[in-house]
Structure 1
């Protein structure tokens, strides 16, 4: 089984219930085919970089999963057939990308915390240096 991540954009005219229903449809399609969903992120309604079918916004959804290549082919066929999907992109992750994504998931907001910790450590070092000078 390979690691994949896919992002798909749903049309903005959908209600919240319809959007969640569409996402569940694709998640169920993956699990029915034997895929293991590792991560799901709903990025919400975002502005598109350029208009697609005269639409300037769309509901973005990100799925990370483990599956066989045949499952990805079926998923993409279903993306193409569903009128609610205006764009999609699926990529195969290599070993390093999967590890990085796992670290990113486990360390949400970690960069801000790391920056604060580093700033605090710098201040602590300055205080220690000042004490040594005395």
Structure 2
């Protein structure tokens, strides 16, 4: 099994529910082909570097997964058939990229767990 990472951009005219439904559709394609989803990040609505199909923003989504090499072709076919996808890029991670991705995930998890504690500490300082 290889480690892969795919980033795709969805059209900005979608509602939050439609965007989440599209992401679930692609995750289901991966699961149906025996892929293990390692990480999923919704980066949200961001400005594009240049206009694509007369759109200047898009919903960015990152999905890391483990699977067989044949799964990439099936996933990219699903991307091409879906009109909600503006752009996509899938690539295989080497061992160094896998280590980096794990470190990045751990840092994000640590920051997320620290934020509530920091907010409480700041509130206590303001009260004093």
TM-score by length of 1: 0.80
Superposed, which structure 2 residues align to 1:111-130 within 5 Å? none
Counterpart CA distance in 1 for 2:22 and 2:108 is 26
Superposed, which structure 2 residues align to 1:1-134 within 5 Å? 1-108=1-108
Q: Write out per-residue CA displacement over residues 12-53 of structure 1, whole angstroms, 9 at most, x where no aligned residue.
A: 011111000000000011011000000000000000000000
Larger Rg: 1
Counterpart CA distance in 1 for 2:70 and 2:58 is 28
Q: Write out per-residue CA displacement over residues 55-82 of structure 1, whole angstroms, 9 at most, x where no aligned residue.
A: 0000000000001111111000010110
- Structure 1: tracts of 5 or more residues without a match: 114-134
Q: How many residues in Structure 1 have an aligned counterpart in Structure 2?
A: 112
Q: RMSD across aligned C-alpha pairs, in angstroms?
A: 1.5
Counterpart CA distance in 1 for 2:18 and 2:100 is 32
- Structure 2: tracts of 5 or more residues without a match: 115-128
